[in-house]
Amino acid sequence: MSKPLFHSNRLLGGLFLLLVVSMPLLSASSFDLWVQDSLYRHGAWLLDRHDRLLKILFYDGVKGLYLLLVLGVFLAWLTSLFRNRLKPWRLRLAIVALTLVLGPLTVGAVKRYSDIPCPRQLERYEGKLPHITILQRLRGDAPVTGSQCYPAGHASGGFSLMALLFLFNSARARRRVVASALALGWITGAYKMAIGDHFFSHTWITMLWVSLLMLLIARVVCALRRQNLSQLLEKTGESVAQAG
């Protein structure tokens, strides 16, 4: 039986290469500015950042549901330490829990030190700061601004939900999970772009990083437990039936 796509070295290498190549390419292009120009008209962003309903739907509400999900997965993992019926799912739950936590945490850590301004802070959009790309920051030829807008932290939660694929046995269900997580990540990312908080590249880089991190976590967790990921995913259902 062939390895699942998300367990292949080719996918890991492809994601890493795409991440490395995307940063300088997007920094050197004007695509980010072109997208934001289309979202900023007549001195205002497409969406009002102070609109309470939009904030509940695309920010506070999503964040609250995400925290509840993280808590639920963590409690399920703790329960698997003591209940035989959940024991076969222990490694899967560990992969999901670690991804849900480390995805946003690592993105947040990069944001804290990236010193990249948000679109709404730029002189181009009636702000006070110059446009600074990650390539300029890495070269060390950009002024210090104290900004924390790169990459996209809010969208990282949506993308981290891709890890839920490890809780499903069928390839069709896993594809649906990944598609839904990508959609949620881009919906929340688009909201932040439309209120002037992020460029397209911020969300794109977040998506690639979280995807790569998820696969690395799965590899490390299984390696530490001396468990083959492909076999784990194939045999969990059988083990659960035996435990019951």
pTM above 0.85, yes or no: yes
- Any bridge partners for residue 41, and if so which? 44
- Any bridge partners for residue 40, and if so which? 45
Q: Which of 107, 204, 113, 102 is nearest to 163 (CA)?
A: 102
> How high is the pLDDT of residue 1?
39
- Per residue of the chain (244 residues), give pLDDT as tens: 345 555 568 889 999 999 999 999 999 999 999 999 999 999 999 999 999 999 999 999 999 999 999 999 999 999 999 988 888 899 999 999 999 999 999 999 999 999 999 999 999 999 999 999 999 999 998 999 999 999 999 999 999 999 999 999 888 999 999 999 999 999 999 999 999 999 999 999 999 999 999 999 999 998 888 777 766 666 554 444 444 4
- pLDDT tens string 108-166: 999 999 999 999 999 999 999 999 999 999 999 899 999 999 999 999 999 999 999 99
Instruction: Return the exposure string of 18-43: e unless at least 16 CB atoms fall within 10 Å of the residue's CB, then b.
Output: bbeeebeebbeeeebbebbeebbeee
> How high is the pLDDT of residue 7?
58
- Cα(9)–Cα(219) distance, rounded to whole angstroms? 10
- Any bridge partners for residue 45, and if so which? 40
Q: Which of 123, 108, 116 is nearest to 201 (CA)?
A: 116
In a 10 Å sphere around its CB, with 0-12 CB exposed, 13-18 middle and 19+ buried, how is residue 130 labelled? middle
Q: Which of 69, 74, 99, 95 is nearest to 213 (CA)?
A: 99
* Cβ-Cβ contacts under 8 Å for 234 (sequence gap 6 or more): 1
Tokens of 88: 């076969």
